[in-house]
Structure 1
């Protein structure tokens, strides 16, 4: 795959992706965790790359979210979904869902979401998911008892890259290999020319070592499983609680994990434990054995009367004899017993096998001496033998366990990925359930059969700062260009937000918070938020340039504008908005402009412009009572008109009545 065809991927990032074993699958599936394992890629960057790959594959040029406010609505919608995830992976994975005008992409996500909404967000499953996280490759640990040897410079360079855990040695002939075999427990030779070499030690000729990494350096695989133990156990639990079909035998997986220590060593082998303890306890055992022998000799000497005749004493002195000679002559049997006790203690305390026990003969020399001492060189030889036996045993066990784990390596990737993807699907299910969502019905692409449109029945926005259960449902239908009027604080902006949210979610392929929704498929969403105060000349000119570009665009867009009149004086604003609406109407675009100047805009426009109104039905205890659903073809009364009307009804003076006539 040419990764540089993905929007936003350059040569450096493409090279990083090429180092992944399954980059194509990860890009196709939107597997953010797998992509983030490429060198130098963060999860955020991985999500962006996945989005780019999806757009490329669906011929989506991007740009659906054409304004800052449209992007804010998307981020808010995405935040609602992400708040319902358990794992960080699912949170990032949801970022690969985005609004688009591509019908195939919408249908692809829609099928995924439809499957997701059928799932029951069982609390036990959510609890099990809390321990699942993407699998990670641990930092390679140095393996000192094994090396790789080669006489070829190219093989040397390749081995350095393939086996960072091992020492890579250059050899010229069999003598070099024999020398390495004396220093390492195992020597792996890459050159086939050395096949059949006869040297002492564990020497293996494996020209294809790079293809047998689990055999050459089983520590790598064991470290992977040890480092990911908790995630694997949690993923297994998720499959069981959620009753998913696992890709491997979970009992077998748990069995091999139980045989693996956190540091990657093998547990549960008595022989390895014996040899490891013997190596660790050797110095202490030798010291204790000396004490055992010397204590016995000391007691014997203390209780024994030794008589030396004068001639013998003179002879011993003339010969420079030491006390060792006296021990040999007078306490030979007692010394042999003490020596035997020392050796027996060493054998028993270290649990030495017969072949190993023979080496203890050299640790305590036969020559009588007091105090009894040990031969450090002999202790060193015993230590070397025990270490070599330990390492051989460990290597054999590691190789055996790695063989068992090798068959599980790919299945556990699937095991964890399926658990993480379940979290993604459950987030969609929870979102749909929490906000009473339904899947919208697309009526075709905007502009194909006339102006774009949408129809929302009982839509409720979860973006409002109130409990969702307290949100009033809104019905609103628009075709073509429409002005939305209404009282202050009557819900015009929240209605516009609801429309934006429904359109964004629908074009993401997700369900929407309403009882039913029908809408055109749009190519872009242009949402302009309310301006904060009158603009200066420069900002005003820039805003007009934005809207000029907007009117030159394609007809299959949805335009939402909130109180554009605040950019300048009301009279000029009405004329400007009227001109913009004329252009959009001529294109056949769909648009909703929220404005308090709806009447003046309609009068200034040269085309017929629909006006809908969010009507306040009255005042109650000083508070507006509002019908939140816009009334079609109705210019809503303003708040001041309602207050004047209320006062006119409560007072006999004609002043309020005359004021009320001014609103007609």
Structure 2
């Protein structure tokens, strides 16, 4: 707008004049400390300290008295002030009017603009996907309406970009009705289990939006949903603990998944006791296997779950391999058949920076625990009784081992405080006889 440009020139010219006024007035009056200022109440002014009031010219008009000086204005300063303020008011009004005109013009073309923006956005996405595919060596997946999922040399599209070239370790994965649609994935912390889960989910997602995928080859089914239970966090606003959030997410998966879903589970049951956690994880896996039939990868530290590979036809075990070199562990990042035999938690703790004495004590306690659970030692009681912080829980029996003897079970249920001495002696004699004779009892 020509009118707007003229108003801006007037405003800027007036500001330039006022800025130069300070130097001119200092020279004219001989007051070296004179300065030009502005505030919203009094506008522009010339400020003179008390020590220089005798040098104030006759054409200065007093505007405000201060504790340490006076503020003045001149007819010339007032004239330029009106030009600046007047121009700014007119500029604001004109800009608001012009902006309204532009909005109305845009509104008339809104449908065409939104259509154009949508096409540009789609072009931007396709361009970005094709550029990444060309640079990173992605391949076109084979998408089918069947059940099987097969990925050869799959890679994580984000993690591999954060690593030097050729350093990311690709992995093969097959989920099908013949070799197993459910994978129990074990391995120590930092070995790469979560990366594998996310990698498979992202490859499936990329394929279903029509993009190339980071792999040497991929044969993927059409999934109705991709379910994930990854990470651990609470929801304080709703009063939900980490475990409650975890269970809520798991429940949503169990209720919502179908045979055509892809389910990715990264730990279940960590926020409760070991037995509760393993039991829930076991039951959820059984339910998915028997009732849902969804393709599932379940990353877990519960090595007990690897037994499911022997008990259920549709479950197989994979582990992210590591190798021990002396006291060190080397993460190979490669998927291998079978379950992990150790967690390597102490080694990972050492890598994370735990003090040496803590690591050494942990090794000592681990040896005692392993000895007590294998029946070859006294457990932590022998060395740990004087160290309350290191006390261990009572020995635990194998989770899915044989049931306890009926005599032991009956003895646990006895309430001696409700029995007479004679009743107690009779019961003790009966239990002793059955235990000696190996009788199961009633």
Q: TM-score, with normalisation over the residues of structure 2?
A: 0.47
Q: Which has the higher strand share?
A: 2
Q: What's the TM-score, normalizing by structure 1?
A: 0.32
Between Structure 1 and Structure 2, the one with more helix by share is 1
Structure having the higher Rg: 1
